[in-house]
């Protein structure tokens, strides 16, 4: 029976050493809601099948002043700016989630693809001026953060920012290339023409990133810093993009390029900024599964990273709270929990398929070791924690009610059509009343290193959701939900 399920799912996975999944966590419900969240972040003209009906059309003139259509895409978090760097990373991670675990979630796969396409449609527009420029941001973050307005009738300046050969941004261009390449793999069997467009545009974005090297933080300065500075530089995005283009095209020149970077990052964090661990695990698959010796070094790098986060590993550098939560840093620590958990789950899958283990010193690491840690982290997020609080909005009976999110905290335009101005909106920021609009599926920044959490809009570090918190969580929940419903595949 188990082997039959594996055939059905298309996963060549061994079943021994199974890990029990807590029966009292409804991972399928959490998965569905984690995808719905992206509807709450949509910019542009909303589709008829919009689930979160308190949202409405917004930013329909984005790019018009610069004679370019930049409508659509996603607002990054609780504000109304479209930051291209974290948006592209979110699309990459949504795509990777579907690539690895999409067959486990037939009921949610269409919604997941919708979420990806909403992002890629925008990124294609952002790349419409190639090879001369890539548009990387819409909205002035300084004026935006001085106001508290819902996106439907915001009054802040919708400035457009771009990178060019003379003002480069290899980091954001590389991430854009990665997002488009990864998404091409999502659509290649169901929409060949669209997948080809994504793939060809990814190639152009990568060429731009590689040919005009530099950091977008240097080129755009205060427009992106301190919000989304590229602290890790751009080498990681070049490696990441090359890895995804290698997967999407099967062209060995991209693997050769990745190897030519000769990077040994020692990175212990995977995020919208630092892609090294993700790139290493992505490329390690080619050695683990396909036995390509040219990719063997990435397996070593991947396992070195994993050993830094595994409890009881002699090279553990990560910290854990008393309640068992992986704790990296503030703000928004849960972004690191969801991204790390995703990598753990993906690597567990690779180990299972290849019937491998690895070692952290004298500690033998089996797939079950990785998955137990994933379960603990996701369980914590969903309510198994000292606060007995679900950090996902609208999941469970106890979740944050005062999240730092403009659209959620201000009455919907359907309830109050009159414009609520920049300063006027702060009455909703400062009120002790719960947010009137439920942003279903939003995962907030989460507790501090002492497992403490303040459900307060003013505490953005803990109470603000973001697309890059949810995006890797989708894949992890897809694995856990499919495993829970269809049997213990791992």
Residue in the structure block whose two tokens are 């290193």 = 449
* Terminal alpha carbon distance of the chain: 14
Q: Where are the beta strands (DSSP E) in 385-460?
A: none
Q: Quick one: residue 86, left, alpha or beta (phi over 0 = left, psi -120 to 50 = alpha)?
A: alpha
In angstroms, the Cα distances linking 411 to 54, 82, 148, 438 are: 9, 22, 12, 11
DSSP character at residue 434: P
Catalytic residue among 62, 108, 237, 464: 464
Q: Residue 455 catalytic?
A: yes
The token duo for 181 is: 């390449």
Separation CA 328–CA 360 (nearest Å): 20
Q: What are phi and psi of 480, to 5 degrees?
A: -65, -40
What is the 3-state secondary structure of 338-367?
HHHHHHHHHHHHHHHHHCCCEEECCEEECH
Q: Which of 79, 455, 456, 483 is catalytic?
A: 455
Written as one string, the DSSP assignment of 254-281 is HHHHHHHT---------SSS--HHHHHH
The two tokens of residue 251 are: 């062209």
Residues 127 and 205 sit within 8 Å (Cβ to Cβ): yes
264 labelled catalytic: no
**CA-to-CA distance for 173 and 167, rounded, in angstroms?**
12
Tokens of 371: 């998955």
| Residue 392 CA to its chain's centroid (Å) | 15
Tokens 């790019």 belong to which residue?
A: 63
Give me 57's structure tokens.
Answer: 């059309």
Among 275, 278, 274, 280, CA closest to 300: 280
Q: Name the DSSP letter for residue 250.
A: -
Residue 200, C-beta contacts closer than 8 angstroms, at least 6 positions apart: none
Structure-token match 């040994």, residue found: 264
Quick one: how far is CA 315 from the chain centroid?
27
Q: What is 114-155 written as a DSSP string?
A: HHHHHHHHHHHHHTTTTTT-EEEEES-HHHHTT----GGG--
| Residues 69, 61: Cα–Cα separation, whole Å | 8
Tokens 């279903």 belong to residue: 440
How crowded is residue 443: how many other Cβ atoms within 10 Å of its Cβ? 29
Active site residues: 455, 464
């Amino acid at each position: 029976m188990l082997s039959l399920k594996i055939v059905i799912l298309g996963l060549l996975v061994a079943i021994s050493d199974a890990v029990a999944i807590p029966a009292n966590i409804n991972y399928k419900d959490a998965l569905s809601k984690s995808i719905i969240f992206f509807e709450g972040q949509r910019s542009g003209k909303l589709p008829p099948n919009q689930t979160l009906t308190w949202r409405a059309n917004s930013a329909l003139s984005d790019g018009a002043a610069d004679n370019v259509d930049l409508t659509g895409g996603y607002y990054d978090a609780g504000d109304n700016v479209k930051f291209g760097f974290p948006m592209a990373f979110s699309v990459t991670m949504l795509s990777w989630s579907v690539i690895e675990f999409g067959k486990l979630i037939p009921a949610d796969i269409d919604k997941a693809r919708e979420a990806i396409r909403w992002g890629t449609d925008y990124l294609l527009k952002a790349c419409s001026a190639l090879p001369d420029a890539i548009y990387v941001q819409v909205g002035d973050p300084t004026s935006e953060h001085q106001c508290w307005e819902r996106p439907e009738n915001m009054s802040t300046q919708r400035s457009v920012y771009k990178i060019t050969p003379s003002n480069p941004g290899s980091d954001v261009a590389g991430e854009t290339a990665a997002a488009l390449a990864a998404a091409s793999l999502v659509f290649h069997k169901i929409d060949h023409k669209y997948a080809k467009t994504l793939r060809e545009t990814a190639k152009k974005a990568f060429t731009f990133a590689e040919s005009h090297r530099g950091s977008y933080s240097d080129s755009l300065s205060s427009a992106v810093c301190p919000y989304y500075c590229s602290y890790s530089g751009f080498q990681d995005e070049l490696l990441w993009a090359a890895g995804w283009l290698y997967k999407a095209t099967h062209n060995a020149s991209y693997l050769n390029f990745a190897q030519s970077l000769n990077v040994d990052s020692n990175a212990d964090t995977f995020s919208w900024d630092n892609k090294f661990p993700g790139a290493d695990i992505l490329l390690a698959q080619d050695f683990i599964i396909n036995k390509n010796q040219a990719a063997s070094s990435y397996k070593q790098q991947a396992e070195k990273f994993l050993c830094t986060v595994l409890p009881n590993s002699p090279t553990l550098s990560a910290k854990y709270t008393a309640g068992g939560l992986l704790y990296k840093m503030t703000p928004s620590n849960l972004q690191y929990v969801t991204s790390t958990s995703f990598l753990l789950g993906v690597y567990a899958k690779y180990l299972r398929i290849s019937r491998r283990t690895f070692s952290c010193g004298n500690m033998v690491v089996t797939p079950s070791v990785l998955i137990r840690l994933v379960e603990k982290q996701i369980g914590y997020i969903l309510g198994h924690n000292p606060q007995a609080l679900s950090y996902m909005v609208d999941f469970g009976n106890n979740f944050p009610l005062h999240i730092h999110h403009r659209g959620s905290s201000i009455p919907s335009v359907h309830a109050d059509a009159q414009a609520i101005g920049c300063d006027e909106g702060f009455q909703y920021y400062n009120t002790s009343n719960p947010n009137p609009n439920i942003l279903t599926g939003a995962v907030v920044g989460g507790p501090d290193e002492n497992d403490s959490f303040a459900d307060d809009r003013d505490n953005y570090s803990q109470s603000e959701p973001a697309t890059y918190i949810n995006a890797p969580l989708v894949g992890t929940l897809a694995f856990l939900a499919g495993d829970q419903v269809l049997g213990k595949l791992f």
